[in-house]
Structure 1
Amino acid sequence: MDLALSLMVLCAVVLIAGALILWRRKSAPKTVWLMLVLALVMIVNVAIWTLPDTDGVSPLEQTAQPDPLLE
């Protein structure tokens, strides 16, 4: 799971960089916006998995714990 989240952050950074390059060239404005929206969705998804809730436990930590009902 850590690898997947790391790749998502890396892809988001690359998408933002690519969107900036396309924006400076003034080519494909629709593609620039789509790349930025996709990067935003990826960043929000990583945040959902890593930020803790009111109990201080993140969903990523909950997946690492064994289910007491299955034991």
Structure 2
Amino acid sequence: MDVIFSVVVLAAFALLGGAWFQWRREGAVKQVWLMALLAVIMLANVALWTVPDKNGAAPMDRAEVSPE
């Protein structure tokens, strides 16, 4: 599960970098905002899974792991 979160965070930063690069080139503004929005949604999703609640347990810790 940690690998998945790492890949999602790296992809979000890559999207933000791509959006910044596209914005600096004065490209399509709609795609820039969509890339930035997707990155924010991805980071919020990771935060929802990893940030602990008031009891100190994160949803990731309570998720069932299927046996292999």
Q: Tell whether the structures are fold-level matches, with TM greater than 0.5.
A: yes
What are structure 2's unaligned runs of at least 5 residues? none
Following superposition, the deviation at residue 3 of structure 1 comes to 1.1
Could you tell me which amino acid in structure 1 is paired with residue 27 of structure 2? S
Matches of 1:25 and 1:55 in 2, distance apart?
A: 47
Matches of 2:4 and 2:34 in 1, distance apart?
A: 22
Question: Which residue does the alignment assign to 2:32?
Answer: 32
Alignment partner of 1:48 is 2:63: no
Aligned sequence identity (%): 46
Following superposition, the deviation at residue 57 of structure 1 comes to 0.2
Number of corresponding residues: 65
Q: Which 4+ residue blocks in structure 1 deviate beyond 3 angstroms?
A: none
Question: Which residue does the alignment assign to 1:61?
Answer: 61
Following superposition, the deviation at residue 64 of structure 1 comes to 5.5
What are structure 1's unaligned runs of at least 5 residues? 66-71
